[in-house]
Amino acid sequence: MAVSTFVIAPVQAANLIQNGSFETATVTPSNPPGFLTLNVGSTAITGWTVTQGTIDYVDTANWQAADGNRSLDLDGTFNSAGGIQQTFNTIIGSLYRVIFDMAGNPTLEPPVKNMRVSAAGTSSDFSFDVTGKSGTNMGWVSKSWDFTATSTTTTLEFISLTGTGAGPALDNVSVVEVSSQPSSIPEPSSTLGILSLGVLGIGAALKRKL
């Protein structure tokens, strides 16, 4: 007799972020210099809004992207630490993982660039040292951070903590659901009660047959 074996392949979690590599926009970085400064309130990059200060929308003519041809410098101009955000649907109580690539603008001080990532009322800070890096050797590093959703929609925000005009660089952003909100499990006492009723029912049926 032939026995069929079924292998269930793991399902890859869907990326909840739109345009995470910043490839799509209504504007194009000029060349030269290979970047375009966007002011607070700008929605020129599809799916994203500039939330504070200014950011630079950077092309590979200026420096190497982590994914595709575009990336961001979260410090657009001197003393103007920038930020961006995107809102997406979430399930209350579910755990989500933010994954992104970080580097830094290597052209100006300080050598260590700092960034804050926030969502669902929590945040975490990240840093990157540009020592020895250049536009053709950015040294992109993958970072990750988890949060638990507290609403049916969540806003993810990245902000610069540097503010020198040469800040943290960002690319290749994604958010995936790590674990779902667990469904309710009957209390042990309830389960025992259900089993007891079942046993009594079987006993009564057998008694009638006798």
pTM over 0.85: no
Cis bond upstream, residue 32 (ω within 30): yes
What pLDDT is stored for residue 32 in this prediction? 85
pLDDT tens digits, one per residue of 9-24 = 345 789 999 999 999 9
- Picking from 127, 119, 65, the residue whose alpha carbon sits closest to that of residue 56 is 65
Q: Which domains does the chain have, with CATH numbers?
A: 35-179 (2.60.120.260)
d(CA 84, CA 101): 15
pLDDT tens over the chain, length 210 residues: 444 443 333 457 899 999 999 999 999 998 889 999 999 999 999 999 999 999 999 999 999 999 999 999 999 998 899 999 999 999 999 999 999 999 999 999 999 999 999 999 999 999 999 999 999 999 999 999 999 999 999 999 999 999 999 999 999 999 999 998 765 445 555 444 444 445 445 454 444 444
Q: Where are the beta strands (DSSP E) in 19-152?
A: 35-39, 49-52, 54-59, 70-73, 75-77, 80-81, 83-89, 95-104, 112-119, 122-129, 141-148
Angle formed at CA 42 by CA 166 and CA 140, multiple of 5 degrees: 40
pLDDT tens digits for range 138-178: 999 999 999 999 999 999 999 999 999 999 999 999 999 99
Which two three-digit tokens encode residue 209?
A: 């047959």
Give me the amino acid identity at 182. Answer: P
